[in-house]
Structure 1
Amino acid sequence: MCDESAEVPGSIRSVVTRRGVLAGAAALAGVSSVATAAEADGTTGALRRAPGRRFPGRPPVPPPLVVAGGPLLDPLTGDVVEDAVVVLAQGRVVASGSRDATRAAVREVSGTARTIDAAGGAILPGLVDAHVHVNALADAAGVLHAGATSIRSGTSNFYQDVAMRPLATWKPGAVPRMRAAGVFVTPDLGDTVLADPDLVPLASLAGGVRSPEALAYLVRVNLSRDVDVVKTRANPRAGVATQDPLELVYDRTQLEAVVRAARRGGAGVLCHAYSAEGCHGAVAAGIRSLEHGVFVSEETLELMVRRGTFFTPTLGPILGLADDPDPILAQRGRDYGPVLRAAVLRAHELGIPVVAGTDTFGTATRPIGSEVRLIGETGVPALDALRGATTTAARLLGWQGRVGRLTPGHLADLVVLDGNPLDDLTAMERVQLVVAQGVVARDDLAA
């Protein structure tokens, strides 16, 4: 029997997570874990820094902003306030509601605030894209301009998502706030072994990163780079004609090794899966969210209910395969589309939280609103489809109470749409204004 662990240098057991160091230091200093977590997601204005490095400045504080005139929709309750006003200051929602209810807050910022007339448009909280790949600033800007003010990275090649994450604090309005996944936990890392010297020993493994020890090591390297979540797979990609997305890449035992290592570092796991076996192994292993999940079985859906697993179906790219010029991919799209639509509706009927993710790569941005529309077209009610990119997605990312609503204390992210999505979900694709971290990132209302 081949013992793969013998091929890995002794350092495979020695990677210490920066998150663990921070937590230990915080405990010694008497700082609560809640405060440390708040700093980690960039919402407190803290600078992520290595020991001994401190930037001699403070993050900018955007001036107050007032958005007024349109109906304000609260995705949590479904309530709509006509002719509403939202007041943003210090990176937070200060007040929202009717003109009478917000009059004092508007008066407080008068003289320093910019006022945007949103009459004719619907005011919503900034949207969440729960599965997207941003490897460059242009990628992130495209996703933001399409309406996603918060995202969960679906991995990057060289920890670009980790590097971009503080920009939401230090250059408001440049990128969405983000949960970073770092590099993909997959057998063949290719050039990604160059992302960190600690990854290089994995290049020596015959057959790639497959043993539980090697998988745990790769997760620990990610955690040492301070990722928020860990991404892995059960199956190959559907969008590559030379791959069979129903083959098994990692079985339940291997995925359990990934989940255990991630949990030790305080991170959840999102898992790419298509086949019934792959989906079941991933959910049984304890993943936080199932990505794609085309052939997820009724048994697995019921397990997801019991486990509290989220479902990110990424309908857009999978349905879009039907229009691919490659006949193999086009046939997959035709075969997979109806199955995935039925799976999404069944998941919703069972009470599984369905969240929106575009699986966008590069600058070929697919607006997050289009994914909300596609979820609604499966039969999921419009309000629940919208929650998949707001309050439900905020729960998945651990940002409930901060993202997904425009009530006081929530973060200063909003969009204005041309139309009410509760009446017509295509309005989700007609974004007119994007405010991220209190800064106007896109303004078509002024045109």
Structure 2
Amino acid sequence: MCVENTPPPPSRLTRRGILAGAAALAGTTAVLSATAPRASAAGGSGDGGGHGLGLGGDLVIEGGTLLDPATGEVTEDAVVVIAGGVVRAAGRRGKIRVPEGMEVLDAHGRWVLPGLVESHIHLNTAAEARDAVLHGATSARSGSTNFYQDIAVRELARQAPHLAPRLRAAGVFVTPDLGDTILADPDLTPLAKLRDGVRSPEALRRVVEINLARGADVIKTRVNERAGLPEQDPLAQVYDREQLSAVVAAAKRGGKGVLCHSYSEKGCHDAVMAGIRSLEHGVFVGERTLREMRRRETYFTPTLTAIAGLAESSDPVLAERGRTYLPVLERAVLAAHELGVPLAAGTDSSGGKVKPIGREVELMREAGLPALDAIRTATTSAARLLGLQGRAGRLARGFAGDAILLDGDPLADVSVLKKPVRVVRSGIAL
């Protein structure tokens, strides 16, 4: 079958209908209806950033110890002024004018950091999105969903930022076997007739184009099978460099980057040479590939949390993979850091259980990164990967009013990032 003969991309009506279905599956429509009064009361326009109707609050965070991940500067007795969901001023008390009548969040005895950036998470529901925020992830990048639920979650974040992280959505996975995802979209249905699945350049291009038509911000694909399924071999390669190049080219035509699920060294190398934006998991990535990543500024999102989680599985195959893979991946992370490969923190949370992004920072530290550099993987570095530099990753004038308050010094003990005592999302204290 030639997919080029299938109907052209979708009409606006089709797109609206599909995304309405995704919102129903994600539960975002019901949540928005129930919380409309609070969203309206928040006022301001802080989280929109030219991307919709996001609302932001007015808040002063006062008296804490402020850490700027970009510079490493620590400011005691600091004040952060947020208006309309955007930071208007941040610095030492006495140097910052505090407007009268604003709500004040007392941060005395706490450390204050920008909201964390989660670079690989699967958010299928409004409840998961809320959990991610409460764990400190105020910005995130989706690792794909089966039925475009991440696009619905992104819209929830724009309309009611206190309910979800600012999100870069990946839509549906570009993978040989689409499975039930075929049911998500009538424009995907013709691909079910392909005997070998989504493998030809035409089929790969079509899935990317449909994702873009539905509003995806990034494209997710794979080069290897999954580590989390005992019946699969994570070192088996499912796409070659030419196929991956077809995905990357189609995404670039839409102005988007590609994140690629990977494990084997050959698979990692093929993916990087094909031009992906970020390598996900990448357990067996080798030095030649890491050097190429540094040259190309390809990001590495190792998802240490997910690999460490395998070791806790009741399945003996998965448990053995976790025990075997984690030390290999830790060495790869440290090698990447020492070579200057940009690193981004991501937990690969899925299946309804959201893991704290602070745990990924802790594992980065355990892999050998200095504390500040580990924190940067979930702030400034991750923000650049998501295209949010200037908006996320710092508490400085013009940045989003997203913050976490911690019960300890993260430079001395990064594990405090796992349990923020308060989270502020777009100027709204949660």
Q: Could you tell me which residue of structure 1 aligns to residue 60 of structure 2?
A: 66
1:231 to 196, 202, 220: 220
State the shift of 1:428 in Å: 1.1
Q: Secondary structure at the residue paired with 2:162?
A: coil
- Does 2:236 correspond to 1:242? no
Show CA shifts across 1:14-55 (max 9, x none): 33799xxxxxxxxxxxxxxxxxxxxxx9733543xxxxxxxx
Measure, in 1, the Cα distance between the counterparts of 2:47 and 2:154.
8
1:321 and 1:333 in contact (8 A); partners too: yes
Partner residue, 1:425: 414
Partner residue of 1:192? 181
Whether contact under 8 Å (2:219, 2:257) holds in the other structure is yes
Q: Show CA shifts across 1:166-190 (max 9, x none).
A: 2222112010100000000001111
How far apart are 1:121 and its partner, in Å? 1.1
Question: What residue number does 2:27 align with?
Answer: none
1:8 aligns with 2:28: no
> Residue 129 of structure 1 is aligned with which of 103, 118, 137?
118
Aligned partner (choices 421, 424, 429) of residue 435 of structure 1: 424
Question: Quick one: percent identity of the two aligned structures?
Answer: 57
**Structure 1 residue corresponding to 2:190, chosen from 201, 204, 210:** 201
TM-score, normalised with respect to structure 1? 0.86
Alpha carbon RMSD of aligned pairs, Å? 1.6
Greater shift, 61-70 or 198-207, is seen at 61-70
Q: 2:307 aligns with which of 306, 309, 318?
A: 318
8 Å CA contact 2:344, 2:377 repeated in 1: yes
Q: Who is 1:88 aligned against?
A: 82
Q: Distance in 1 between matches of 2:51 and 2:342?
A: 31
1:295 alignment partner in structure 2: 284
Give the Cα–Cα distance (whole angstroms) in 2 for the partners of residues 148 and 339 of structure 1: 27
Q: Match of 2:346?
A: 357
Which residue of the other structure, out of 251, 262, 268, is the alignment partner of 1:279? 268
Whether the 8 Å CA contact 1:417–1:431 is kept in 2: the answer is yes
Matched residues in 1 for 2:80 and 2:145: separation? 35
Range that drifts further, 298-307 or 254-263: 298-307
CA distance in structure 1 between the aligned counterparts of 2:10 and 2:401, rounded to whole angstroms: 35
**TM-score, scaled to structure 2:** 0.90
8 Å contact kept, 1:186–1:209: yes
SS in structure 2 at match of 1:168: helix
State how far apart, in whole Å, the 2-side matches of 1:271 and 1:78 are: 31
Query: Where do residues 16-55 of structure 1 align in structure 2 (5 Å cutoff)?
Result: 43-44=48-49, 46-47=51-52
Aligned to 2:337: 348
State which of 358, 361, 369 in structure 2 corresponds to 1:372.
361
Question: Which of 78, 81, 91 is equivalent to 1:97?
Answer: 91
2:47, 2:56 within 8 Å by CA — same for their partners in 1?
no
Residue in structure 2 matching 1:398, options 387, 402, 406? 387
Summarize the Cα distance change of 1:42–1:156 in structure 2 as closer, same or farther, 3 Å threshold: farther
SS of match in other structure, 1:77: coil
Q: Give matches, 1:330-345, under 5 Å.
A: 330-345=319-334
How do 1:105-254 and structure 2 match up within 5 A?
Answer: 106=98, 108=99, 110-111=100-101, 113-254=102-243
SS at match of 2:314: coil
The secondary structure found in structure 2 opposite 1:419 is coil
* d(CA) in 2 for partners of 1:17, 1:276: 41
How much does 1:377 deviate?
Answer: 0.7
Kindly provide the CA deviation profile for residues 279-328 of structure 1, in whole angstroms up to 9, marking residues without a partner as x.
01100100000000000011111111111100000001102211211111
For 2:303 and 2:5, the matched residues in 1 are separated by: 40
Paired with 1:145 and 1:183, the residues of 2 have a C-alpha distance of 26
| Structure 1 residues 118 and 281: alpha-carbon distance in aligned structure 2, compared to 1, 3 A threshold | same
- Equivalent position amino acid for 1:331 in 2: E
Contact 1:17 1:226 in 2 (8 A): no
Compared CA separation, residues 225 and 83, structure 1 to 2 (3 A)? same
Alpha-carbon spacing, 1:60–1:316, altered in 2? closer, same or farther (3 Å):
closer
CA deviation string 1:51-79 (max 9, x = no partner): xxxxxxxx474441011111000000000
Q: Identify which range, 267-276 or 316-325, moves more after superposition.
A: 316-325
Alpha carbons of structure 1 residues 336 and 99: separation in structure 2 relative to 1, 3 Å = same
CA distance in 2, matches of 1:42, 1:406: 14
> SS of the counterpart of 2:423?
strand
Partner amino acid, structure 1, of 2:104: T
- Kindly state the Cα deviation for residue 421 of structure 1 after the two structures are TM-superposed: 0.8
Contact 1:92–1:410 (8 Å) recurs in 2: yes
Provide closer, same or farther for how the CA distance between residues 172 and 90 of structure 1 changes in structure 2, counting only shifts above 3 A: same
8 A Cα contact 1:168 1:437, kept in partner: no
Please report how far the alpha carbon of residue 226 of structure 1 lies from its aligned counterpart in structure 2 after TM superposition: 1.1
SS of 1:411 mapped into structure 2: coil
Which structure 1 segments of 5+ residues have no match?
Answer: 1-5, 19-40, 48-58, 442-447
> Which structure 2 residue ranges, 5 or more long, are not aligned?
13-45
Deviations 1:70-95 (A, max 9, x none): 10000000000001111111110011
Q: Which amino acid is the alignment partner of residue 11 of structure 1?
A: T
Runs of 4 or more, structure 1, over 6 Å off, are: none
Return the letter of the residue paired with 1:43: G
CA contact (8 A) 1:17 1:223 kept: no
Work out the CA distance in 2 between the residues paired with 1:332 and 1:171: 40
Q: Deviations over 1:423-445 (max 9, x none)?
A: 1111111211111122123xxxx
2:302 counterpart of 1:308: no
